Structure 1
Amino acid sequence: MARHGRRAARAMTAAAAVMVTLACGSTDGPRPSSVAMPASGTATVEVGGRQVTVHVPDLYDPARPAPLVVALHGYTSDAKELETYFRLTPESDRRGFIYTYPDGTTDDRGERFWNATDACCAFSGSAPDDSRYLSELIATIQGSYRIDRARVYLIGHSNGGFMAFRMACDHADQVTAIVSLNGATWNDTAQCRPSEPVGVLAVHSSDDETVAFGGGLLGRRVHPSAATTIDQWLGYNRCAGTGRDAPELDLVADLPAAETSVRTDFLLSQVQPAR
């Protein structure tokens, strides 16, 4: 799912659709652990028995709340490879957000994964509670730095995109918004009951041969289409109207003209819930 990650992350291969649904309307809690985090720069630490890389930009000021960005790799990939094509560390330095990218666990095939939804991606072996783990990781980061709890973002590629949707379903009180690149939400809609709206940016290639734009199978497990995923989140976020098409984008240099369509759905209310 992720060995084609560099090519896919450039702009999701060929024609991609970008769909945005903003947070439109109004388990047990996480348990932060005591971990020695870096005061500045980049360091890899162990949180909950897993390797997590944390980057603290020079712009970080403990007197001012900073945004937090958590990046999630795809199946068969890992955190280090994710950063080679996302390259969010320079953006952290430029924009001043705390940035962390953890590793998933390893299945009995020797592949790293996130146990995200009914389709992806605990294909063999154990089924860890990654939703709880990532919730506790966010709490740990919040306990180590001054984080703006209204600006906590997850970005995931492929299996990581599925996991970002899972986190929005399970921990809407912690997660402000997500970005999913070639991921999808639950096929079983009963599994997703977000407690409040979560902003969603969904980017999905129409040519992806693994996580199909129109929905399909991962092994024997069904995942919903990109359109169905967005329709579900329009409902969860209580978005009104039919949205608006934005100008197409030219994101892939070796494809002719603008290859990426964009559609935005709007706020039902400008009033955001307190966090």
Structure 2
Amino acid sequence: MARHHWRAARVVAAAAAVMVTLACGPADDPRPTSSSPPALPASGTGTVQIGGRQVTVHVPASYDPARPAPLVIGLHGYTSDGVQLESYLRLTPESDRRGFVYAYPDGLTDDRGERFWNATDACCSFSEPKPDDSRYLSELISTLEGGYRIDRSRVSLIGHSNGGFMAFRMACDHADQVAAIVSLNGATWADAGRCRPSKPVSVLVINSSSDETIAFTGGDIGGNAYPSAATTVADWVRYDRCGGTGRDAPKLDLVPALTGAETSVRTHDCANGSVVQAWTIGGGTHVPPLGSAFAPAVTRFLLSR
């Protein structure tokens, strides 16, 4: 866990170094590959190769092929991987308790051996050729829908850092497949015109006010800008055709190391029953030490859409 925190917090420094030093393409083939259907686990947790990449899938004991189940996909940050993400978010117990199929794939590796997602121009593919991770994850969703009885109206993604950027990218590109996303300390496109969701997607934007890596007020990685937390929320309020100015809800205590209920909550009601929520972790860092309340809270958001 400590190793995960250290590695995840390096994203900007590593990104700058990559921009200077990389001359070749990713070590893995960036193109999605087709093959025979993978042998997906029938229950419990198993790791399979899908499209040439490692994907860990957890199937709750309550899964019944006769009843459609929700699907949640977890996306790791730059320098991390799926297993480290799950050790941080700890969503597997929620999968068992609430009955959703849960998958956490690995991104490709760059020339420094770091895993990444090609989400936006800011984060985090720093060499050529750039993999089409939007297409890969769309095909992963289709593969899992083919292997399990999935409720296609309840497919969602949750990502941290680079994974948060990628969750936004999926909502922009594949609103026909994705009902809801959660981004923890990520950001959407700086150029709002590059996001054109075909229908509203419920979005939970979680940002730490003292994030030392992805600045709360916006910034850039290797000269490519990413928007502030406020701009990210405002863009999605516009995409989802939300009404009014939003409303505040009681604060949440997600990070026990911070005093009291440190996380403010603001909700916007939007078109087609979608919502945009902004959670601000007051005093939180890029990898806040999440408490036991975090996983149930974000799962409740995802499954209620």
Q: Which band: TM-score by shorter chain? A: 0.7 to 0.9
Within-5 A mapping of 1:92-131 = 92-131=95-134
Residue type of the partner of 1:112? Answer: R
How many residues align? The count is 249
- The 3 A distance-change label for structure 1 pair 270 and 200 is closer
CA positional deviation for 1:138: 0.2
CA positional deviation for 1:247: 1.4
> Which whole-Å CA distance do the structure 1 matches of 2:198 and 2:221 have between them?
28
> Which whole-Å CA distance do the structure 2 matches of 1:7 and 1:77 have between them?
6
CA positional deviation for 1:268: 4.2
> Which whole-Å CA distance do the structure 2 matches of 1:112 and 1:154 have between them?
18
Residue type of the partner of 1:176? Answer: A
> Which whole-Å CA distance do the structure 1 matches of 2:76 and 2:274 have between them?
33
> Could you tell me which of 235, 241, 245 is aligned with 2:244?
241
Question: Residue 181 of structure 1 aligns with which residue?
Answer: 184
Give secondary structure in 1 for the equivalent of 2:245.
strand
Contact 1:32 1:139 in 2 (8 A): no
> Which whole-Å CA distance do the structure 2 matches of 1:144 and 1:252 have between them?
36
Structure 2 residue 215 is matched with structure 1 residue 212: yes
Structure 2 residue 144 is matched with structure 1 residue 141: yes
If the length of structure 2 is used for normalisation, what is the TM-score? Answer: 0.78
Contact 1:118 1:188 in 2 (8 A): no
> Could you tell me which of 55, 66, 70 is aligned with 1:67?
70
Q: Map Cα deviations across residues 26-55 of structure 1 (whole Å, 9 max, x no partner).
A: xxxxx8962211111111000110000111
> Which whole-Å CA distance do the structure 2 matches of 1:148 and 1:128 have between them?
28
Question: Residue 203 of structure 2 aligns with which residue?
Answer: 200
> Could you tell me which of 236, 249, 254 is aligned with 1:251?
254
Q: Map Cα deviations across residues 153-193 of structure 1 (whole Å, 9 max, x no partner).
A: 10000000000000000000000000000010011122110
Question: Residue 25 of structure 1 aligns with which residue?
Answer: none
Within-5 A mapping of 1:18-57 = 34-57=37-60
Give secondary structure in 1 for the equivalent of 2:249.
strand
Q: Map Cα deviations across residues 211-232 of structure 1 (whole Å, 9 max, x no partner).
A: 1111001232210001101111
Unaligned runs of 5+ in 1: 9-30
Give secondary structure in 2 for the equivalent of 1:242.
coil
Contact 1:58 1:93 in 2 (8 A): yes
Give secondary structure in 2 for the equivalent of 1:241.
coil
Contact 2:35 2:51 in 1 (8 A): no
> Which whole-Å CA distance do the structure 2 matches of 1:129 and 1:64 have between them?
32
> Which whole-Å CA distance do the structure 2 matches of 1:271 and 1:237 have between them?
7
> Which whole-Å CA distance do the structure 2 matches of 1:257 and 1:43 have between them?
38
Give secondary structure in 1 for the equivalent of 2:246.
strand
Question: Residue 169 of structure 2 aligns with which residue?
Answer: 166
Structure 2 residue 92 is matched with structure 1 residue 89: yes
CA positional deviation for 1:126: 3.4
- The 3 A distance-change label for structure 1 pair 235 and 222 is same
Superposed CA RMSD: 2.1
Contact 1:170 1:192 in 2 (8 A): yes
> Which whole-Å CA distance do the structure 1 matches of 2:219 and 2:59 have between them?
39
> Which whole-Å CA distance do the structure 1 matches of 2:146 and 2:60 have between them?
17
Q: Map Cα deviations across residues 2-38 of structure 1 (whole Å, 9 max, x no partner).
A: 9437998xxxxxxxxxxxxxxxxxxxxxx89622111
Within-5 A mapping of 1:143-158 = 143-158=146-161
Contact 1:104 1:114 in 2 (8 A): yes
CA positional deviation for 1:267: 3.1
CA positional deviation for 1:65: 0.3
If the length of structure 1 is used for normalisation, what is the TM-score? Answer: 0.86
Q: Please state which structure has a larger fraction of its residues in helix.
A: 2
Residue type of the partner of 2:207? Answer: H
> Could you tell me which of 157, 167, 191 is aligned with 2:194?
191
